[in-house]
Amino acid sequence: METASMTANDGAPFFLPRDPRTAHWYFSGNKPLITLLIVAYVYIVKVGGPRFMKNRKPYDGIKPLITFYNAFMVVCSAYYVYAFFTTAYIRIGYSPICQGIDFDARDEGTMHLLNLFWWYTMVRILDFLDTFFFVLRKKDSHVSFLHVVHHTMVAFNGWFGISYGADGHSMAFTVINGSVHVVMYTYYFLSSLGPEVQKYLWWKRYITQLQLVQFVVLFVHSLLPFFFNCNYPRSHTYILMPQAAFFFGLFMNFYVQSYQKKTHVSTKPVANGKMH
């Protein structure tokens, strides 16, 4: 099959045909559905939700639900990290340096990996609840450009992988990103337990640093198919690399605004409880 030999440095078309192994799966290749999903999400969190909450008090009664949700996400993310790693790199024998996609591969291990990715994408779409909780609790400052774009791109990437090939080289980043989600949701879970626990969560800033590192790793790792001929589609590479650079910039700006400037301000002299 011709698409099986497309590499990052050949003359392959930018967009690949649908992955034949998942062509009949729900959500695969469904452009109207992914478009509707993203548009509806953005509308709800930026327009409809705030409008609904305008004259209402925050729904703080959902805190137990948020705690359960965060614990659930920790368990889910940890499971998928383990499942992806053991299936791809131990069972199938993936190379962590450069791994192509064989669109003819329908062995048990490969199909299990693709099935895992489908369910993992559903879990990442469930991440939309993060934002819905912010809206219901009127924490509008948390519904930032970075937050919304990140969630929409995660949903798009999952759809793209299911539709055009989720296995291969990008599986390394799926494992890394899943590991970051384990740390992130562990922090959220502990934070939701209240002030007695929150005072020990001094390491929040290091989560952002970890996110920055993952985008550097993604960018560098995405370059490898240009130097190693491992039959990885260039369309995937062209989608991954700009995203890595884009999100690195957004998260770096968030880090500077949240931590570096606060550190600078906190060093100023304080008189009568006010900073000057």
> What would the pLDDT profile of 194-245 be if each residue is shown by its tens digit?
889 988 999 989 999 999 999 999 999 999 999 998 999 988 999 999 999 9
74-101 tens-digit pLDDT: 999 999 999 999 999 999 999 999 999 9
> CA 50 to CA 148: how far, in whole Å?
14
At which residue do the structure tokens 């369910």 appear? 119
Residue scoring higher pLDDT (13 or 27)? 27
- pTM for the whole structure: 0.87
Any idea where the domains of the chain sit in the sequence? 29-275
**Count helices and strands in the chain by DSSP H and E runs:** 11, 2
Is 150 among the residues known to form the active site? yes
> CA 257 to CA 83: how far, in whole Å?
36
Catalytic pick from 112, 150, 236, 276? 150
